[in-house]
């Protein structure tokens, strides 16, 4: 399975609005968007040029972040993963495309996704619901 890039780090958040303020005001993060939809809040932050985006996600369970890697084909990557004894969770969706979390040793959280909706980044940029 070939990973193209580490695009996002999803971080569970108890209060995305308050955490967003700290990242923006104290750490100088660029707020890409801060949306409220489907009963939750999600904020995308860019900490440094070229670094993966951080997403503060109010709906994400657990305490550990999820490292989200892009793959060319989600189906092919999952097939290759399973052929080597790995396990992927059920397919879900993010605004950028389908995603599956991979069972990783030690409780680490890793996911792979396929970019099927590249226009999403431009559509969400600058949106600030909170």
**CA–CA separation, 46 and 55 (whole Å):** 9
Domains of the chain: 5-124 (3.10.180.10)
In percent, the amount of the chain with pLDDT more than 90 equals 94
| pLDDT mean across residues, the chain | 95
pLDDT in the model for residue 105 = 85
Mind listing the pLDDT tens digit for each residue in 63-111?
999 999 999 999 999 999 999 999 999 999 999 999 999 988 888 999 9
Mind listing the pLDDT tens digit for each residue in 120-129?
999 999 999 9
pLDDT in the model for residue 38 = 86
DSSP code string of 64-97: S-EEEEEES-HHHHHHHHHHTT--B---EEETTE
Q: Sheet with 97-103: list strands edge to edge.
A: 30-37, 40-46, 53-57, 5-12, 66-71, 109-114, 97-103, 92-94
């Amino acid at each position: 399975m070939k990973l193209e890039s580490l695009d996002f780090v999803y971080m569970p958040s108890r209060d995305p609005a308050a955490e967003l303020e700290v990242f923006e005001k104290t750490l100088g993060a660029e707020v890409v968007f801060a949306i409220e939809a489907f009963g939750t809040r999600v904020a995308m932050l860019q900490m440094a040029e070229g670094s993966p985006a951080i997403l503060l996600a109010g709906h994400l369970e657990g305490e550990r972040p999820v490292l989200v890697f892009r793959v060319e084909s989600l189906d092919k990557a999952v097939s290759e993963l399973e052929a080597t004894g790995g396990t992927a969770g059920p397919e879900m969706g993010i605004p950028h495309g389908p995603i599956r979390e991979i069972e990783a040793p030690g409780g680490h959280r890793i996911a792979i996704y396929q970019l099927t909706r590249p226009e999403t980044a431009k559509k969400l940029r600058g949106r600030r619901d909170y």
